[in-house]
Amino acid sequence: LEARIAKDIEAASDLKTLDDIRVSALGKKGEVSLKMRELGKMSPEERQVMGPALNGLKDRLNTAIEARKTALEDAALDAALATERVDISMPAAREAKGSLHPVAQVMEELAVIFADMGFAVAEGPDVEDDFHNFTALNFPPDHPARDTHDTFFMKAGEGETPKVLRTHTSPVQIRTMMSEKPPLRIIAPGRVYRCDWDQTHTPMFHQVEGLVIDKETHMGHLKGCLIDFIAAFFETDAVEARFRPHHFPFTEPSAEMDVRYERVGDAVKVGSGDKWMEILGCGMVHPNVIRSCGLDPDEYQGFAFGMGVDRLAMLKYGMPDLRPFFEPDSRWLAHYGFSP
Ligand code: PHE
């Protein structure tokens, strides 16, 4: 009996088989257990011989089973180590690294450039009221920008003046002049909204407003500031800019600034060619605006500008169309060197 069971134990090739052998030998109804039960029917002399013999057998079988179990477990571990070894010669999986969206990237660059010139960052709400977006900025009551054709109006209750999605960042000029004492030097980055949709217009786009209010500020400061800005932004003095007379209700005199560019294939290239892209509006803050903020225009003057961030990104990265800026197309981003 012992020889047969011991042989089975040695031959067991997995833990399940080994356990079955243990049960059939030492389990409640196992062969050895049944023999132990027969001890009761034996004579005392017989029992004295068979008792220790059976107990010895039981111990030896238990020891053999434990030894076999350890051997099987070691073998399993060795096999796993052999097959699951790390192959250090395998090329590592590429880690996808994201980058900022071109608009966010340009926003950050603008904040850094103007911080170097001493401008702090100010903010205002996207949902603006008529006073800050239009009235305080010297818009006459019948100005076309107040038309629903150009401006998104919010629903309003009976007799209430509807709120608007701000059509420019200029209302932050008003908020700043009304809450802080001059001298002021701020930029206000943010989203603005207009009913518009073509290659260079989207219903939501980004502006950075600039405002300087002090006692002896003049047009020369305005031009110098913006020409320095263009050189810093495009990282060269070679990008030509021009000021064109224009009209805004909240500045007098007013101008728009264009930069020279050309189309090369389906890309845009800044600094050469015979095309001009308008990138910002600017001017000397109108006395009525200074007055509507509770300041004395005979004491304080200043200049303001509002630039199109998306336009600047188009020029800097050679993107010919504004619309993909607002579509989640990772191939477009990748094409211009941005990773989604
Ligand atoms: N708010 C004007 C626009 O959106 C830009 C501007 C800002 C012009 C400040 C002059 C001064 O077109």
Mean pLDDT of 193-200: 85
**Inter-CA distances, 196 with 22, 176, 205, 323, 329, Å:** 84, 28, 10, 11, 21
State how far the Cα of 79 lies from the Cα of 25, in Å rounded to an integer. Answer: 30
Stated as kind and residue range, the H or E segment containing 78 is helix 44-83
170 pocket-lining for ligand 1 (C-beta < 6 Å): yes
Residue of 117, 121, 98, 96 lying closest to 108 (CA atoms) = 121
Residue 340: is its pLDDT beyond 80?
A: no
Query: Which DSSP state fits 226?
Result: H
Q: Is the pTM for the entire model greater than 0.90?
A: no
State how far the Cα of 303 lies from the Cα of 223, in Å rounded to an integer. Answer: 10
Mean pLDDT of 195-202: 82
72-118 tens-digit pLDDT:
999 989 888 888 888 788 888 887 778 899 999 999 999 999 999 99
For residue 217, report the distance from its CA to the centre of ligand 1, in Å: 18
Least confident of 111-115, 272-276, 296-300, 335-339: 335-339
pLDDT at residue number 264 = 87
What ipTM does the predicted assembly reach? 0.98
Q: How many other C-beta atoms are found inside a 10 Å radius of the C-beta of residue 170?
A: 30
| Helices 15-26 and 31-38: angle between axes, nearest 10 degrees | 10
For residue 131, report the distance from its CA to the centre of ligand 1, in Å: 16
Residue 33: CB partners within 8 Å, gap ≥ 6?
26, 27
For residue 249, report the distance from its CA to the centre of ligand 1, in Å: 9
Phi, psi of 194 (to 5 degrees): -150, 150
User: b/e for 267-301, b at 16 or more Cβ within 10 A?
Assistant: ebebeeeeebbebbbbbbbbbebbebbebeeeebb
Q: Are 112 and 208 in contact (CB under 8 A)?
A: no
State how far the Cα of 234 lies from the Cα of 338, in Å rounded to an integer. Answer: 18
248 pocket-lining for ligand 1 (C-beta < 6 Å): yes
Which residues line the annotated binding site for Mg(2+)?
252
Average pLDDT of the chain, as a whole number = 91
Residue of 313, 302, 310 lying closest to 337 (CA atoms) = 313
Phi, psi of 21 (to 5 degrees): -65, -40
For residue 147, report the distance from its CA to the centre of ligand 1, in Å: 18
Atom of ligand 1 nearest to the CA of 210: 9
Residue to substitute in 128, 133, 137, 170 for testing ligand 1 pocket (most ligand atoms within 8 angstroms of CB): 170
226 pocket-lining for ligand 1 (C-beta < 6 Å): no
CA-nearest residue, atom 12 of ligand 1: 281
Mean pLDDT of 286-311: 96
Tokens 């051997």 correspond to 71
pLDDT at residue number 126 = 97
Residue type, 63: T
Residue 272: is its pLDDT beyond 90?
A: no
For residue 91, report the distance from its CA to the centre of ligand 1, in Å: 54
pLDDT band at 339 (very low <50, low <70, confident <90, very high): confident
Mean pLDDT of 1-20: 90
Atom of ligand 1 nearest to the CA of 306: 7
CA-nearest residue, atom 9 of ligand 1: 305
305 pocket-lining for ligand 1 (C-beta < 6 Å): yes
pLDDT band at 225 (very low <50, low <70, confident <90, very high): very high
Higher per-residue confidence, 201 vs 191: 191
Atom of ligand 1 nearest to the CA of 207: 4
Atom of ligand 1 nearest to the CA of 192: 4
pLDDT band at 200 (very low <50, low <70, confident <90, very high): confident
Q: Kindly state the tokens that stand for 297.
A: 């225009």
